[in-house]
Structure 1
Amino acid sequence: MPGSLWARMKADPQYAPEHLALEAVRRIGPEARRWAQRVREDQPGISTDDLAQQASRRFLNHARFSGAVSGATGLPGAVVDVGVLAWTQARMVLHIAAAYGADPAGAERATDLLVLQRVHKAAETARLALGVAAGRERASRLFAGAADRPLTGVMLKLGVKLAQMAGVHAAKRMFAKLVPGAGMVLGTWANSTATKDLARRARELYGAAGSTP
């Protein structure tokens, strides 16, 4: 995950999921589009469902081990874990979108991410929140004084928002990591379960749209 994104989310933890979604579409969207084009060239005739399954498997493997071998401990380590997981999940969704022919770099994909990851229940509220986050991103002066906040409070709020984005199982994992020995045991299972559920929802959304390359 880009360091600039971490800094932005720590400065504005309330809108951390929105900042992550916007950055993911900017950075990962073009990458996902290139990936889908390359696979279709290498595997002529591959179906959209098979291509989407490839994306799901690829990032599910990444998610299983994200955080499992992290050396960071305590609250900062837990926040890093769920942040990496949320970023990995965003990459997966955008690659699934590309598999079904939806533009992974399109602005609407940020809305899709927030609804699929259940940060917002409806697309309209997700769009409103993204607009607020984009405005706060541009108006960097609004972040002045963020460094003066108690670090523990900022990290806790950031962790809660990212855990919400990564899934309820990820939230359990984050807090389990605060108990010595518990995080490693829970990590792989929690990450896998949350990401599998998200992959299913993404395939249903983009598959039902009937998009074709």
Structure 2
Amino acid sequence: MSHLFRPFVGFLLLPVLLAACRPDQIEHIKDGKKIATTLENMAVKRILPVDLLRATRWAGDSLTRHADRELRLVLAEKLQAGGVAAALPYCRPETFASIDTLERVLQATAQRRSARPRNAANQAALTPADLQPDTTRRVARLSGEVFTYQRPIALTDALCLLCHGEVGKDISPTDYALIKKEYPSDQATGYHLGEAMGVWQVTLQRTGVAEFYTMKTRKIVKPRKPLF
């Protein structure tokens, strides 16, 4: 075959080769995107110190918000069933079973502290800066293995005034007598809606924080919706 004829033959074969590689004839791997995402999630990721602090805030928010929601639900149920007498023993969300479970998952310990506590064991010397609006978060790394989280506890539910409002106005004398009987050194009255009553303080282990960061940043493949 002459040298002049060879390029001509190649030119004729080019459309045939391109047709053989049409996109609609390419065989795609089934669930390829899902497999790729799974492999990416399984890959060991480097977690930076700033990532751990961010995860500490996420974990602290998750734990304390869950505790606040559980407390509101329980208190509403108990107050409706038997008033302050029935609700008083349950105003301790840090002792709820669901919170204990979440603490174990996060390797954390949560406590509520106040300068004017109901329970003297929760007494803490707090500054005005500690009691800024609920958007305030304080996270820190105390050591290579220990992180801390703190945020204010604001009185945002009018139901709480039945135990923590003004005596004689929000709290009846009978209910206040019950409170003083259970907590003789009680200081947790006289609050108003929107006022900060204390703080959540959470201590977390590095392994729990790192695992929470991994879970939060893990990609999730959303199932495709059928076309018809």
TM-score, normalization by structure 1: 0.30
Structure with max Cα Rg: 2
Name which structure has the greater RCO, CA cutoff 8 Å, separation 6+.
Answer: 1
TM-score, normalised on structure 2? 0.29
Q: Of Structure 1 and Structure 2, which has the larger fraction of its residues in strand?
A: 2
